[in-house]
Amino acid sequence: MKIPEILRTDQIDNAVLLLSSYYNKPQPGKTTLRSGARFDDWAGGGDAPDVANTITADDFLAASFLSVRFSPKAVMGILEHRRDDVADLLAQIPVDLDLVDVTHENFKSVLGEESAAWQLWDLFRGKDLEGNESWGIGPTKASKLMARKRPRLIPIWDSVVRNETGLKDSGTQWSDWHEVLTQNEGALARHLDDIQHRADLQHSISPLRVMDVVLWMRGTGGITQPPTGEDETA
């Protein structure tokens, strides 16, 4: 996977403009900020100490700010029947670990197919459900829930990310992003920090969220067009 052009160092002015427009300026033709600008800090954030290891209604609400909708069956199923399972898995996933700081030796235990993170991904996707019991949570919705709980570790996946990066599907996204972020002693992660610093946001966000927003704004022409489509990051 190659670093998308908008995330290259020679494009920093454009990336700063995209990030600042998303968080600091009203949507085109409106007087309010994009709903997605509240995803990170809604109700104190999904990784706040008192809620970091549990799933809450506010997590579903915050994820919905990114143009996805969860069925009542999914919300009730997870909150009422799988909350303890989610809590057990979240307790095993580091809150204060950035994806770029995951060593190659530890990647498998943190984000590999046997890891708690992967198990939580499968739980949110309802992999153990059948037929009419399905929650209808695909990779986009699952990634937004996981990014809400672990914004420093889990990237968001949607059709715009796929198109902007050339990734074929969500199955290898964690390892692909890890490879790119750890190249050149973490140069891309430092660049994402620079973008955020220059954008002068009202509250801090994770480098992965910087990456997601810049890619989404670039991929949708977000400065001049309102967001469309449920599978995108609003």
- Output the six-digit token pair for 177: 């992003």
Please, are residues 22 and 34 in contact by the beta-carbon 8 Å criterion? yes
pLDDT tens readout for residues 70-123: 999 999 999 999 999 999 999 999 999 999 999 999 999 999 999 999 999 999
- Residue carrying structure tokens 């889990």: 154
- Output the six-digit token pair for 144: 């937004």
The closest alpha carbon to 177, from 194, 197, 192, belongs to 192
- Output the six-digit token pair for 184: 């050149």
Q: Distance between CA 40 and CA 204 in Å, rounded?
A: 9
The closest alpha carbon to 78, from 170, 141, 13, belongs to 141
How much helix, strand and coil, in percent to the nearest 5, is found in the chain?
A: 55, 0, 45
Q: Distance between CA 234 and CA 231 in Å, rounded?
A: 9
Whether the full predicted model's pTM is greater than 0.95, yes or no, is no
- Residue carrying structure tokens 């307790």: 91
pLDDT the model gives residue 223: 62
Q: Distance between CA 156 and CA 148 in Å, rounded?
A: 9
- Output the six-digit token pair for 23: 């968080």
pLDDT lower than 50: segments of the chain? 224-234
pLDDT the model gives residue 234: 36
pLDDT the model gives residue 155: 97
